[in-house]
């Protein structure tokens, strides 16, 4: 039989004894590591998971990783369908568009962007206002309240100013919501030496970074469970933002670096792999160390 099938006898008996090949053992070790990483990283898709593995020194092809995730029953989160919520209307205090859809910055605190999104709780609607630094995409300020008055966007900008202490003339870009075009907000920005910038009416693309963050926030946190109270929402948002989004989430815009890694000066994910002390260790040894660390 071996002669007819052009198979060596030793190979046949090895197969009979059920010995696993090197590839099979490696797949099992990779799967074990993927399962451990999956939940702490926020149930990412294969791209972010592949970047995380690469930062640890493990190069895995996209087809292979997709197959391993499928076999392990792991599926990344995906966004819900887009719904337009911004409509044209008459506003109060105008400002030019200083961003022009150029969502890049050469330095920290050069350009910020802000927006408001809404979350349904059992106690009623809650509203989250945000301020994002376009340099690293870091969420430098956020606040949640049961209203969406101008005081909410003033409060979140105050938090951002306290956290970052920016120089004068930092640009703060937003859509043309009533809160951002109010006289109260304009006066506050003037006192704090913040330069206001407004996108066009009814165009979500002019504030795409904030819209993208809102989609990520809802996909990875809000749509995963019901929210009985606003207090519960605030606590979970704090853990998600400060413990995950600003620290460990890998951002496609940053080449799948985390915000913290980018602000530390890294510019390519392979720079992390070269500094990973355990990259030459077997995968299961790293798996065990990660489990203990978590």
* Tens-digit pLDDT profile for residues 30-46: 999 999 888 888 788 88
Confidence at residue 14, expressed as pLDDT on a 0 to 100 scale: 80
Alpha carbon distance 83, 94 (integer Å):
26
Would you say 142 and 156 are in contact if contact means Cβ atoms under 8 Å apart? yes
pLDDT at 117 over 50: yes
| Tokens representing residue 256 in the block | 């799948």
**pLDDT digit string (tens) for 166-219?**
999 999 999 999 999 999 999 999 999 999 999 887 788 899 999 999 999 999
Alpha carbon distance 189, 171 (integer Å):
10
Q: Model-level pTM?
A: 0.71
Q: What is the mean pLDDT of the chain?
A: 86
Alpha carbon distance 178, 104 (integer Å):
26
CA 124 to centroid of chain Cα atoms: 26
Confidence at residue 282, expressed as pLDDT on a 0 to 100 scale: 45
Alpha carbon distance 272, 277 (integer Å):
10
> What is the mean pLDDT of the segment spanning 124-136?
96
């Amino acid at each position: 039989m071996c002669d007819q099938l052009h198979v060596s006898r030793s190979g046949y008996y090895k197969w009979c004894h059920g010995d696993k090949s090197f590839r099979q053992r490696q797949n099992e070790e990779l799967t074990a590591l993927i399962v451990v990483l999956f939940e702490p990283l926020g149930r990412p898709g294969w791209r972010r998971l592949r970047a995380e593995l690469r930062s640890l020194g493990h190069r895995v092809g996209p087809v292979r990783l997709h197959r391993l995730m499928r076999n392990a029953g792991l599926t990344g989160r995906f966004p819900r369908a887009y719904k337009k919520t911004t409509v044209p209307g008459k506003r109060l205090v105008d400002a030019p568009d200083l961003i022009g859809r150029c969502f890049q910055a050469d330095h920290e605190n050069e350009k910020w962007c802000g927006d408001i999104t809404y979350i349904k709780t059992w106690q009623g609607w809650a509203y989250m206002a945000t301020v994002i630094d376009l340099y690293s995409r870091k969420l430098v300020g956020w606040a949640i309240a049961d209203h969406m008055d101008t005081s909410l966007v003033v409060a979140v900008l105050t938090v951002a100013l306290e956290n970052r202490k920016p120089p004068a003339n930092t640009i703060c870009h937003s859509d043309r919501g009533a809160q951002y075009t109010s006289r109260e907000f304009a006066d506050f920005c003037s006192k704090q030496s913040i330069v206001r910038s407004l996108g066009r009416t009814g165009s979500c693309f002019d504030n795409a970074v904030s819209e993208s963050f809102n989609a990520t926030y809802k996909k990875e946190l809000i749509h995963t469970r019901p929210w009985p109270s606003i207090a519960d929402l605030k606590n979970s948002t704090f853990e998600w933002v400060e413990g995950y989004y600003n620290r460990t989430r890998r951002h496609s815009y940053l080449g799948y670096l985390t915000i913290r890694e980018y602000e530390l000066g890294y510019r390519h994910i392979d720079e992390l792999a070269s500094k990973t002390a355990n990259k030459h260790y077997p995968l299961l040894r790293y798996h065990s160390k990660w489990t203990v660390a978590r």
